[in-house]
Amino acid sequence: MKRLALAVALSTALATPALAGPPWISVEFRATRLGHSGDGFLVLRTFHHADAVGYPLRGSAEGLVGGRRVSIPLRFEMQADEAGVFVLTKVWTDGAPWILNVALDTGDHFGAGVVIGVGASAEPAFVRFPRTVDGITRAASSREVDALLQALAAGREPPRLARAGLGEFILRNPGPMAVLAALTLGAGTAAGLLGAAARRWRTGRGARAAA
């Protein structure tokens, strides 16, 4: 029953398209596309706004096999009968945890991405949509993939992924909004550093008092 509930919950995972209109990706697992090849693990759909558009996809399966890190390029089979539909062929092995890190590239300044966790049982474990600082989905960084993979291998809840890419946001949005974003991020970073310093000072003061 638990597996069935997970399959239903993950049968269609959508990235909510941002109002500015970047491309986005949806994920459908094999139970929804039985008419396709038996090698198809899942189906990805690519969109711009509400329109299906066949943007190219790339990605890799990142796994831990026998304690060794393995990376395998993913293969996406574009469907000729339906725009923007790709079947992801299974190229990884069962019995090990895998992170499928997928990116969409439009060729200009916008992109999209999605990360899918696959457990050692070969069943999908989670879907995550990493985002830039302005809310556009993206592929996961190598550090994020490592953290997700370690959590999956240990049976832990996958970590939350922070928004990234302030520099890219400023290039795409020159002007007051970019300045505001930089100031906000800078203030948050400064506050965090000051808080950490204060905690260290209090800890050191308490230790000296106890001595």
Summarize pLDDT for 66-76 with one digit per residue, the tens: 989 999 999 99
Beta strands in 10-158 (DSSP E): 12-14, 23-29, 40-48, 51-52, 57-65, 68-73, 75-78, 85-89, 98-105, 111-118, 124-128
Q: What is the average pLDDT across 197-208?
A: 60
Q: Cβ(59)–Cβ(116) under 8 Å?
A: no
Domain ranges for the chain: 2-162, 174-210
pTM above 0.75, yes or no: no
- The lowest-confidence range among 34-48, 126-140, 141-155 is 34-48
CB 141 within 8 A of CB 164: yes
- pLDDT band at residue 164 using 50, 70 and 90 as cut-offs: confident
